[in-house]
Amino acid sequence: MDIARYNADWLAAWTAKDVDALLGFYGADCTYFDPQTAAGIRGHEALRAYLTGLFAATPAMTYTPDETWPIPGGFCGRWYCDVAGGGRLRGFDMVLLDGEQITHNEVYVHQLPQD
């Protein structure tokens, strides 16, 4: 698998706020963690509900891949996110895969200072 391409396609679905496309990347029994879901989310239906609410509550965001690193069972990827109306984030994902399906995703985010 070309993890840089996979990561870029996945981040494009985040930019598009395309819940169905994103769920296509995740396995049915996936686990997902981000700063708002520190206890984690499990499974497609819970992830669908979370993403639908998240995308309705947030402005447009453009995710740009930076680097990826293979790890046993998956990859880690660093990205930048430009938020409509101002703001920039740097994020890092740890992704475990079963084939091309994400089984576990942990997201870490830092807000960058305004220039």
For the chain, what are the domain ranges? 3-110
User: Whole-model pTM?
Assistant: 0.93
- For residue 57, what are the contacts with CB-CB under 8 A and spacing of at least 6? none
CATH 3.10.450.50 correct for 3-110: yes
Q: What is the predicted pLDDT for the residue at 5?
A: 97
Handedness of CA 11, 14, 19, 23 (dihedral sign): positive
- Identify the CA nearest to 81 among candidates 94, 93, 71, 70: 93
pLDDT at position 115 over 70: no
Between the alpha carbon of residue 100 and those of residues 10, 56, 76, 88, the distances in Å are 11, 27, 14, 29
- pLDDT tens digits for range 14-32: 999 999 999 999 999 999 9
- pLDDT tens digits for range 42-98: 999 999 999 999 999 999 999 999 999 999 999 999 999 999 988 899 999 999 999
